[in-house]
Amino acid sequence: MALADTRLLERLIGREALETLIQTCGGLSIPIPKHTPLSGPLCDLPLPAQEALVRFYGGTELYVPKCDGARREAIHARIRAEYDAGARVQDLARRYGYTERHIYNILGRLPEPDLNGTLF
């Protein structure tokens, strides 16, 4: 079984196809046949990406990493960019399914103090 090197895969099949592959097969070992067109979850890849996989990994089983850390960092970068562009913390929390506190942690900022005071 070959462990996929994501940098090599990106060079072979392109970033968009790699994202599709990780999304559909991340964390799984998948058999790569010796001929195209591919079947199963690999059929979602464009034909040039399928051909590149067959050329490099054909006849083997390929383990596709989940890349959770990289995906998380990409989401955090989008959150920071949207915040810098003027998005509100509350809207970002709702959009990404995080708590406001988690958004503040991602931004590296403390929550803004409540200027209305507390009820208790």
Question: Residue 116: what pLDDT?
Answer: 57
Average pLDDT of span 63-91 = 91
Query: pTM here?
Result: 0.62
Length of the chain measured in residues: 120
pLDDT digits (tens, 9 = 90+) for 33-71: 998 888 888 888 999 999 999 999 999 999 998 888 888
Among residues 73, 70, 105, 69, the alpha carbon closest in space to that of 89 is found at: 105
- The per-residue pLDDT for 99 is 97
- Two structure tokens written together for 46: 């464009």
- Rounded CA separation 104/16 (Å): 30
In this prediction, what percent of the chain has a pLDDT beyond 70? Answer: 88
Averaged pLDDT for residues 17-27: 90
